[in-house]
Every structure is written in C-alpha cells, then in structure tokens.
C-alpha cells in the first residue's frame, strides 16, 4: 500500500526554533531550526518509510482568508530574522534529499496538506501528517492520521479518529466548529467572546455544528450565553469558515510527483558538513555509507620492535579500553611516524627493551591522545612513559571546552578528515563492548595514530592563534603528568574505620526507618521520591511547596519548609543524609579500595569542566563531606600511607573574591584584602553603610550570600532563594552591592559586552569559554550566558592559579628532594602526605609557593593545617 507523509514545514521549523538553543555553524549562520527539522525528517524517513513525501510551506503574507477577514493572523509577532533566514537552508536540505516541497500563493501549508491528503485518500492511500498545529486534526479520517509535536520536537502524539474523540469528545470534522465558537488567539480568530474550549465542546456535543448551535439558541440554557451567541452569530460563522482547511487548493503538484527518489549521499554529507551537524553526519555516515569511505591505510603488525620504527617524533596510541585505567588491560599499541605505521601487540611492546627504552626517553617526542591514561596504565605495569609533547585531548579541550566530544574520531571529523572511526563504532557500547579481531583492532589503533600525527600541527596552530600555547605547554601538559602521579600514588583509606562507621550508620538508619514508618502509619520505600511524595502530600496532606516534572518535589529545601508541620520531616532529612553517607561514602569508598595497594586511586578528569576546574571520578574525592560533623568523620578514614606520616592540607583563602578584586581593579576590595579583613564583614559594612562594630550576624550572613552569588554568577532569584527573601529585595540588595563597588559593576558590564563582541570570555591564562547564547532572544538563555560571562573569568582564573601552584609545588618538592607527596586537589586546596621530619619545612614551603605562584593586585593567602588523618588536618 502507498503511504504519503505530509509535513507542515513552517510549523515544524517554528517548533524546532523555539525548542532548541540558538545554534550556529562556523560561519555564524543560525541553524537550530534546520537542525531540529533535520532530526525530525531523518526520524520520519526511518520510522515511516513513506512511499511518497511532501513538505508544505506557507506562502507570502496574504491568503484567501484575508478576503474574509482582514485581521486574520494580525497582531502576530513578526517571525524573528534568526528563524526566517533558516528557511532557505531547509529548502536546500530537502533538495539534496530529493524531497518534494511546495508553497501556493494565497494559501497556507495547511491547505496544501488538506488538498493532497484528500486526493491520496481517494486513491486509497494511507496518509500521515506531521505538524505542531492542532487545526490539522480536522483532516483525521479512517485513512489519515495526524502526528502532532508535543514538547519540543522529539516527542509526538499520534491522532486517529478515536484519539480525537477521546481527547475532545467530537469528530475531526467538528474541529472548525470548535474554533468557530472558541476562536484562536494565535491566528486572531475571534470566535464568540466568553466561550472557551470547555463551553464550545459542551455545545458541540449537543448540537454538532455552529450552524445548528445558532439555530437552537433558544433552547440553550443561560441568559448570558444566549446573548453572546446572538450578538456574535456572524462572527462565529466567519470564524468557522476561517478555520476550515481547503481541500481544493489549486496546484500543479501530482501525487506521483511526490514519490521518494534516491538521493546522492555525497551531496547530503556535504551539506550536513557545511551546517556543522556532526552528530547527524556521524549517524548518517554509519547508516548510509559504513566505513568504506575512510581513507586507505596500510600498516605493519610488529613481531619485534626495532629502533628504526621508533622515530622522533611519533604518534603513540596506547589502547586502554576500560573507563577506569588503573591496573587495567592494554589491548594494543600503535606507533605512527614519517617512517611507517605500526601496530604493536601489547605483549610484544611490553617485552621489548627497545620499546621500553624509547618510551622512557624524554628526548623522543611523542604525540598522544589522553597521555595521562597511557602513562598511568603503563605505570601500573612498571613501564615509564616520557617525552610527551602533545596531548590531543587537552589541546582540543583548551580550544573549546564545550565541544561535545574530544575523541580522536570527532576531532578528525571536525577537521574534515575521515581517518578513524569512533571507538563505539568499532568496539560497540555498554554491555556489547568487545575486543575485536586482531586485524580490526590493529587497523583502528593505527588509524588513531594517523589522526594524531596528521592533526597535531593544526591543533597547535589553533592554540597559538588563541594565545593558548603557553597554557598548553607550560601548564596543562606538565599538570597532566602530575595528576597521573597523584592518581598512581593514591590515598590510604582504613577499611576497618569505614566498616565501624558503617555499622553505626546502619543502626541509625534502621532506627530512623522504624520511626518514619511509625509516623507515616505504613511502610514504604523512603528512597523513592515518588512513594515519599504520595505519603507526605496525599496521606499526610502536607502542603505542596514545589513540583517536579514527574510529581511532588521532596528535596531538602522543600522538607525544611515543612519541618514544623510534621514530626516525620526532620527524621526524613536525617535519614536522607545518613543514607547518603552510607551508600556513597561508606559502601562506595570500600568498593574502590584497590586490592593490591589498599589505597584509593581516583581519576582526575582534566578535560571536562567548562571553567577549567578539574573533576574527580571513581571515586569522586572532591566531594568528601565536611560541612556536617556526622559526615565529616568520614575523613577520619583517610590516613597517610606510611607510619608516622601526616596529612597536610593547604587551602587558598577566598581565592575567587581575590581574583574578582584583581580583575575588577576595585580599590576598596583590594584594600580590604591587603588589610587582611574578614571579607564578608567588610562587604556588610559597605553594603549596609555601617561600622565594623555595627555589623550584625544577620548582616554578615546576607553579605556572604551576596559574595557567594558574585562568585557563582548572581541572579536575583538565586539570591532570594538562599536568603529567604523576595526577588525584589534580592534585586535591591544586588544593586546596593554594585553601588558600593562601582568597579565591580563596571567589570560585570564590560565582560558582558566583551562576550557579546567576541563570542567568548577568557581567564588570566587565556583559557576560553564560548557563549553563543549571549545574544539569544530568549531571556533565560541570554541571562544564563550573561551570568556565565561574569562568573567564568573568576572561577576559571582561580582554577588557573591552583593548577599553576600544583606545577610549582611539584617542582619545589623535586628541587628540594622532599619525600612529601601531593595526593589530591579539591578546587582551592591541595592535600599532601608528609613525613614527620618534613612537616616543619612543608608548613612554610607549601603556602609560600602557592602564594607566589601568580602575582595579583591582591595578596593570595594560604592556610595550612595538618593531622594524623584528613579529618584532623583542620
């Protein structure tokens, strides 16, 4: 059977435009509507497999409906230029896909669709119509279904006759009658004032058409209603007429002309490339062309490594397939250089003195993707890797931290080189991930090597262009080796201590559980927000403060507002907190103690955050509890790995606000830090205009919240939440702050302007973050981008500073031949383990290095503490 799919082009493009962020390609052409349209189109092609297909567009401004009603669609916001400029691209896209599209003067897309669906039905075809406009529902019939976009563009709802009946209680043919009565604000169709959807549907159930409703006015109950209908009878009839979709639109199109035709995949990929639709390109490539269009590569599988193979420079691929690279398998190794392309099976490499000698030779230059992964994996096997001069992962991250992927395959694709497939394509994903045959593996690794070797110069050029070469070479590259060393060193955790705490927490947990069931009058899963919500808000009838997408919110801030309303609430809050300690910190940490070393080896991700901070995984050692005493005790389990050593913690005091003082060049702030004042008290003095002695604890608390907001990108709403005040009050508060520190205000304005001009903001060491949404028409998106513009230079510069400090401290430890080891970095603090005899020296050395690492207009201040456990280093 023939199947015709009709797409309402304007409606879908419009939906896509508002559903997606304002994307643009490299040339700055906006593409979000095209992107959304394309994803939908590909989905339709794949899922519907239509034999015939057409995309209908609206034509021009006036339609035959304007002859009936001049004000039709008036008052509508003009289509934004960001959207209208995308329509030619959509047409171009349809052309390369060989998909028919049309528009007809004086008619709307609806009318084209109505006409063609009627003709197709008459031929006995099946018809599917895609739109975001409910008007189209009038076309639903036995043969025709209408698919409406629900939220965004990806979720849709299919309507047949039954669904329309279920939803509205009327037949599709009655939709125009409904519109006749209720009108349609978006098209400026008046309908009958005072009649909305509910009333319209009620009337139509009794009298099936507008005409019959009007003929029966006398029998309709309600004096007001009668009057309204009488008064607006002509308007109702006209409104209905406007809502009826034409089924006889004059046009040249024939059904046969809508037949799907094969298209040229090359033309499609070229256009997708031009639009920068990488994810679609990838999907399309895999679907349509497989791997055959990769450039050829020939390589040698090495049985014995020789010195000639290992030139300098070489690209080196060390394939560590597990997410967690500690003590992990290595599937294979590839070396690519000017002399040749080599796949070296792991055993061959690791048993070869020639290879190991070369790997550890600092003077032999290597280009690697994710050097830390290779260094750590090899390190566990006793193989040293030195001389890495280019890490492509880090380079890509510095060039654009927001890139959706920094994998070799994607970087290559971005540079328009089809050299290598993604790991996912070769290995599969999730549970289906397997080691491929030796031939496939060898070729894949060699391809990665080729990508590295050919793309390295281009990436370094970009870094240079962005003035990021120093950041790359002198900071991030050395840092990755330091991080690798920290990860291998690991931190000792005492399982006995954790187990003991775990038992106590378990007792607390079962007591709380019992009390909660008692108070709830029933047992239920406390960990399920859904079940908890129904207990609190339905069974116990507590007031609903906030809702989530899926139901009632039971988050801590909601529960805190309810804490006086029911005894169960404080128990729940405590339960949640203890549960967190037990599952994430006790059980979680016990699980990741390495069986051989008895230590915990985290992995620092150096290429993920948008601000330049590090992150830590498996486990995350950057979020070990500290605020509440019950959780803070977890830190007692973190101990030095050698007897008689100490844990030493050194943290920057108020580094972000110092950075702000520096960047904004605010004299008052700079002076405050030079005088070593309590900065929150100082802020309170300036904002409230009082003397130091007059600052109340409440004033200081408010000032602290404002400072916090400044650091994290302030919004009046956010501040109002954290202080429990109204948005208006919060806004006044912020304004008072900015009045007190005019240079800070100036900075905030300048940096936003800079972001608008350049499209990105930078940190002290030229780290970069792109903010395309800074010019968005959407208030929320734009505001978010503005806050990010203000915040990223502050947080990012703080990240620059501590990273530089790590490099400097590492140098100092080596230079002074100290045994002390750097273990962790937690954003503004460094954690060491230190032998007793080095304590005294470290207590002076570490702060002094950290404070001198980068000179700002304000002094940096570092506080040190030490103890027998991490808990005691306070």
Report the site for DNA in 676-715 (rule: CB under 7 A): 705, 708-709, 712-715
CB contact at 8 A, 624 and 635: yes
Size (the chain), residues = 874
Minimal distance in Å, beta carbon 37 to DNA?
20
Provide the b/e sequence for 623-659 (b: ≥16 CB within 10 Å): ebbeeeebbebbbbbbbbbeeebbbbbbbbebbbbbb
Minimal distance in Å, beta carbon 622 to DNA?
6
Please, what is the end-to-end C-alpha distance for the chain in angstroms? 76
Q: Which of residues 511-550 bind DNA (CB under 7 A)?
A: 525, 527-531, 533, 548-550
Alpha carbons 751 and 772: distance in angstroms, whole number: 14
CB contact at 8 A, 655 and 663: no
Cβ nearer to DNA, comparing 40 with 203: 40
Q: Which of residues 720-739 bind DNA (CB under 7 A)?
A: 721-722
Minimal distance in Å, beta carbon 629 to DNA?
10
Cβ nearer to DNA, comparing 53 with 624: 624
CB contact at 8 A, 243 and 135: yes
Residue 829 DSSP symbol: E
Return the beta strands (E) in 346-402 as ranges: 366-368, 388-391
Q: Where does this chain touch DNA (CB under 7 A) — which range of 207-215, 228-236, 260-268, 580-588?
A: 580-588
Q: Which of 591, 598, 819, 874 is in the footprint of DNA by CB under 7 A?
A: 591
Q: Where does this chain touch DNA (CB under 7 A) — which range of 82-90, 477-485, 603-611, 856-864?
A: 603-611
Q: Which of residues 411-430 bind DNA (CB under 7 A)?
A: 430
**Who's near 869: CB < 8 A, 6+ residues apart?**
635, 636, 637, 638, 639, 647
Q: Which of residues 297-336 bind DNA (CB under 7 A)?
A: none
Return the beta strands (E) in 357-515 as ranges: 366-368, 388-391, 491-493
Alpha carbon separation from 208 to 176, 253, 340, 668, 850 (Å, rounded): 11, 34, 80, 75, 81
Cβ nearer to DNA, comparing 194 with 724: 724
Q: Where does this chain touch DNA (CB under 7 A) — which range of 15-23, 121-129, 249-257, 614-622?
A: 614-622
Cβ nearer to DNA, comparing 81 with 550: 550
Cβ nearer to DNA, comparing 283 with 617: 617
Minimal distance in Å, beta carbon 573 to DNA?
7
Cβ nearer to DNA, comparing 447 with 613: 613
Cβ nearer to DNA, comparing 98 with 553: 553
Asked if residue 744 binds DNA (CB under 7 A), the reply is no
Q: Which of 610, 653, 681, 861 is in the footprint of DNA by CB under 7 A?
A: 610
Minimal distance in Å, beta carbon 5 to DNA?
23
Alpha carbon separation from 699 to 510, 519, 541, 654, 728 (Å, rounded): 41, 39, 37, 19, 18
Alpha carbons 411 and 396: distance in angstroms, whole number: 7
CB contact at 8 A, 589 and 498: yes
Q: Which of residues 79-108 bind DNA (CB under 7 A)?
A: none
Per-residue H/E/C for 63-106? CHHHHHCCCCCCCCCCCCHHHHCCHHHHHHHHHHCCCEEEECCC
Q: Which of 7, 181, 593, 719 is in the footprint of DNA by CB under 7 A?
A: 719
Structure tokens at 729: 């009050």
CB contact at 8 A, 353 and 370: no
Q: Which of 68, 583, 696, 844 is in the footprint of DNA by CB under 7 A?
A: 583
Minimal distance in Å, beta carbon 19 to DNA?
13
Please, what sign has the CA dihedral across residues 651, 656, 659, 661?
A: negative
Residue 688: alpha-carbon gap to chain centroid: 39
Minimal distance in Å, beta carbon 379 to DNA?
21
Cβ nearer to DNA, comparing 38 with 606: 606
Minimal distance in Å, beta carbon 815 to DNA?
27
What order do you get walking across the sheet with 829-835 strand by strand? 821-825, 829-835, 645-652, 862-867
The interface mask with DNA, positions 616-635, x = CB under 7 A, is xxxxx-xxxxxxx--xx---
Structure tokens at 340: 């040749």
Cβ nearer to DNA, comparing 233 with 632: 632
Minimal distance in Å, beta carbon 610 to DNA?
4
Q: What angle do CA 164, 166, 169 make, to 5 degrees?
A: 80
Please name every residue paired with 638 in a beta bridge, in sequence order, or none if there are none: 493
CB contact at 8 A, 625 and 585: yes
Strand pairing class (100-103; 52-57): parallel
Minimal distance in Å, beta carbon 272 to DNA?
22
Q: Which of residues 425-454 bind DNA (CB under 7 A)?
A: 430-431
Q: Which of 545, 573, 725, 856 is in the footprint of DNA by CB under 7 A?
A: 573
Cβ nearer to DNA, comparing 788 with 810: 788
Q: Which of residues 752-811 bind DNA (CB under 7 A)?
A: 779-780, 783-784, 787-788, 791, 795
Q: Which of 281, 452, 477, 559 is in the footprint of DNA by CB under 7 A?
A: 559
Minimal distance in Å, beta carbon 40 to DNA?
17
Minimal distance in Å, beta carbon 592 to DNA?
8
Q: Where does this chain touch DNA (CB under 7 A) — which range of 21-29, 74-82, 694-702, 824-832?
A: 824-832
For 291, phi and psi rounded to 5 degrees?
-100, 5
Q: Where does this chain touch DNA (CB under 7 A) — which range of 172-180, 231-239, 404-412, 605-613?
A: 605-613
Cβ nearer to DNA, comparing 220 with 725: 725
Q: How many residues form the binding site for DNA (CB under 7 A)?
A: 72
């Amino acid at each position: 059977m023939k199947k015709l799919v009709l797409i309402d082009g304007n409606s879908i493009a419009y939906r896509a435009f508002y559903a997606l962020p304002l994307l643009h390609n490299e040339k700055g052409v906006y593409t979000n509507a095209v992107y959304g349209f394309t994803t939908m189109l590909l989905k339709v092609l794949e899922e519907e497999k239509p034999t015939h297909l057409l995309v209908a567009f609206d034509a021009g401004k006036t339609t035959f409906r304007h002859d009936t009603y001049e004000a039709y669609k008036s008052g509508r916001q003009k289509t934004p230029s960001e959207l209208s400029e995308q329509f030619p691209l959509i047409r171009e896209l349809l052309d390369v896909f060989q998909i028919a599209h049309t528009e007809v003067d004086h008619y709307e897309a609806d009318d084209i669709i109505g006409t063609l669906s009627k003709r197709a039905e008459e031929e006995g075809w099946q018809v599917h119509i895609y739109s975001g406009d409910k008007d189209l529902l009038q076309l639903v019939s036995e043969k025709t279904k209408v698919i409406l976009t629900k939220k965004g563009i990806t979720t849709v709802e299919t309507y047949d006759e039954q669904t329309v009946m279920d939803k509205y209680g009327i037949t599709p043919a009655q939709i125009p009658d409904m519109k006749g009565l209720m009108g349609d604000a978006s098209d400026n169709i008046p309908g009958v004032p005072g009649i909305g959807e509910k009333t319209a549907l009620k009337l139509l159930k009794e009298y099936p058409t507008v005409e019959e409703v009007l003929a029966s006015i006398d029998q309709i109950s309600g004096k007001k209603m009668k009057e309204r209908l009488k008064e607006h009878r002509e308007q109702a009839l006209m409104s209905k007429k406007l809502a009826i979709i034409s089924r006889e639109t004059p046009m040249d199109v024939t059904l046969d002309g809508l037949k799907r035709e094969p298209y040229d995949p090359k033309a499609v990929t070229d256009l997708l490339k031009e639009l920068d639709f990488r994810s679609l390109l990838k999907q399309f490539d895999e679907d349509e062309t497989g791997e055959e269009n990769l450039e050829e590569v020939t390589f040698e599988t090495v049985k014995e490594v020789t010195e000639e193979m290992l030139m300098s420079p070489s690209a080196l691929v060390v394939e560590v397939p597990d997410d967690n690279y500690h003590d992990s398998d290595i599937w294979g190794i590839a070396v690519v250089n000017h002399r040749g392309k080599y796949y070296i099976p792991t055993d061959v490499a690791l048993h070869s003195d020639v290879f190991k000698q070369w790997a550890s030779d600092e003077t032999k230059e290597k280009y690697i993707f994710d050097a830390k992964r290779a260094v750590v994996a090899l390190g566990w096997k006793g193989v040293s890797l030195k001389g890495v001069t280019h890490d492509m992962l880090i380079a890509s991250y510095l060039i654009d931290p927001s890139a959706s992927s920094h994998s070799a395959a994607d970087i290559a694709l971005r540079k328009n080189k089809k050299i290598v497939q993604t790991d996912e394509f070769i290995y599969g994903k999730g549970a289906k991930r397997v080691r491929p045959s030796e031939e496939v593996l060898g070729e894949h690794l060699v391809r990665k090597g080729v990508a590295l070797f050919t793309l390295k110069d281009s990436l370094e050029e970009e870094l240079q262009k962005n003035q990021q070469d120093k950041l790359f070479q002198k900071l991030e590259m050395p840092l990755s080796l330091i991080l690798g060393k920290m990860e291998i060193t690991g931190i000792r955790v005492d399982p006995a201590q954790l187990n003991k705490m775990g038992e106590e927490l378990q007792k607390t947990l079962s007591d709380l559980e019992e009390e909660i069931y008692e108070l709830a009058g029933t047992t239920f899963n406390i960990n399920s927000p859904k079940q908890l919500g129904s207990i609190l808000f339905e069974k116990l009838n507590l007031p609903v403060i906030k809702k989530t997408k899926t139901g009632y919110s039971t988050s801590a801030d909601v529960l805190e507002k309810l804490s006086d309303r029911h005894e169960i609430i404080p128990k729940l809050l405590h339960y949640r907190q203890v549960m967190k300690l037990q599952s994430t910190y006790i059980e979680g940490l016990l699980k990741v103690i390495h069986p051989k070393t008895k230590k915990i080896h985290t992995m620092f991700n150096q290429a993920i955050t948008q601000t330049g901070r590090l992150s830590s995984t498996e486990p995350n050692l950057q979020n070990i509890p500290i605020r509440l005493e019950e959780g803070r005790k977890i830190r007692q389990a973190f101990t030095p790995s050698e007897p008689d050593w100490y844990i030493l913690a050194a943290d920057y005091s108020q580094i972000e606000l110092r950075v702000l003082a520096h960047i904004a060049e605010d004299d008052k702030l700079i002076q405050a830090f030079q005088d070593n004042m309590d900065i929150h008290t100082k802020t309170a003095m300036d904002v409230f205009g009082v003397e130091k002695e007059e600052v109340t604890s409440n004033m200081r608390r408010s000032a602290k919240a404002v400072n916090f907001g400044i650091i994290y990108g302030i919004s009046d709403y956010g501040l109002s939440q954290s202080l429990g005040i109204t948005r208006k009050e919060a806004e006044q508060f912020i304004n008072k702050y900015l009045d007190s520190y005019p240079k800070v205000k100036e900075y905030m304005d300048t940096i936003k302007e800079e972001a608008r001009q350049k499209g990105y903001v930078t940190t002290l060491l030229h780290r970069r973050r792109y903010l395309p949404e800074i010019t968005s028409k959407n208030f929320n998106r734009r505001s978010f981008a503005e806050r990010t513009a203000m915040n990223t230079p502050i947080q990012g510069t703080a990240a620059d500073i501590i990273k530089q400090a790590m490099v400097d401290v590492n140098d100092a430890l080596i230079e002074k031949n100290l045994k002390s080891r750097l273990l962790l970095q937690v954003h503004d603090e460094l954690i060491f383990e230190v032998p007793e005899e080095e304590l005294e020296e470290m207590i002076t050395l570490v702060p002094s290095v950290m404070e001198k690492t980068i000179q700002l207009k304000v002094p940096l201040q570092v506080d040190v503490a030490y103890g027998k456990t991490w808990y005691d280093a306070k």
